[in-house]
Amino acid sequence: MAEERKISMAVIRRLPRYYRYLGELLEKGVNKISSRELSERMNVTASQIRQDLNNFGGFGQQGYGYNVDYLHEEIAKILGLDKNYKMIIVGVGNLGHAIANYSSFEKRGFKLVGLFDVNPRLIGMSVRGFEVQDIDKMESFVKENSIEIAILTMPKTRVRQTAEDLANWGIKGIWNFSAVDLALPETVQVENVHLSHSLMTLAYKINDEEEEME
């Protein structure tokens, strides 16, 4: 799949939304959709949709539209959702708890298998059927269970060291919820969720709109 190399992350970041919409269509029994219809539903231009999907060979037939099931499956393959991933959560505060309870992740192949914390009051507690383990046991757990993804929902101060340890123990991806940018070897992929950035963007939109109305 050498031709996929050049696809921009901007396109990749739109794929989960296509995937979600197509999944909703399938649930409703819709098997065929034109780029115009998909465009109206998703509030994206039809030409944007065609361009995005052409990056992966198109999938559409002129005058027929898209086969929803096929397109859904192909996007799943591109995103790697045809595989399973074993995940752990590091930091079982409210956010760690919230993420542990997202049952929809599991349906897409993201399987939570362990939770870790340093707090003695949390260790031993049960969250969604998992016992919260002492972070001291994380190294052997990650290695023995070939954990692929670590979700970091822990305080900022400990994130860098933990991420480096996890990288050394063979983790492949880190989903980072702290406001710290991680510098890790290329073998480890990082996806950041900066909630404060999102909130600042909302502030911008609110102000921008107010200026427009003045």
Q: Which residues bind its own copies (CB under 8 A)?
A: 1, 4-5, 9-10, 12-13, 15-17, 19-20, 42-43, 78-81, 83, 85, 93-95, 97-99, 101-102, 104-105, 108-110, 148-149, 172-173, 175, 179, 181, 183, 186-187, 189, 191, 193-213
Collect contacts of 43-46 with beta carbons under 8 A, ≥24 apart: 44/14
Least CB distance from residue 206 to its own copies, whole Å?
5
Q: What is the C-alpha to C-alpha distance for residues 45 and 8, in angstroms, rounded to an integer?
A: 18
Residue closer to its own copies, measured from CB, 123 or 152:
152
Residue closer to its own copies, measured from CB, 66 or 175:
175
Distance of CA 81 to the CA centre of its chain: 10
Residue closer to its own copies, measured from CB, 46 or 79:
79
| Residue 112 to residues 3, 84, 123, 151, 155, Cα–Cα distance (Å) | 33, 11, 17, 10, 20
Q: How many helices (H) and strands (E) does the chain have?
A: 9, 10
Least CB distance from residue 173 to its own copies, whole Å?
5
Least CB distance from residue 37 to its own copies, whole Å?
15
Residue closer to its own copies, measured from CB, 24 or 136:
24
Residue length, the chain? Answer: 214
Residue closer to its own copies, measured from CB, 51 or 137:
51
Q: Are residues 133 and 111 in contact, defined by beta-carbon separation less than 8 angstroms?
A: no
Least CB distance from residue 46 to its own copies, whole Å?
17
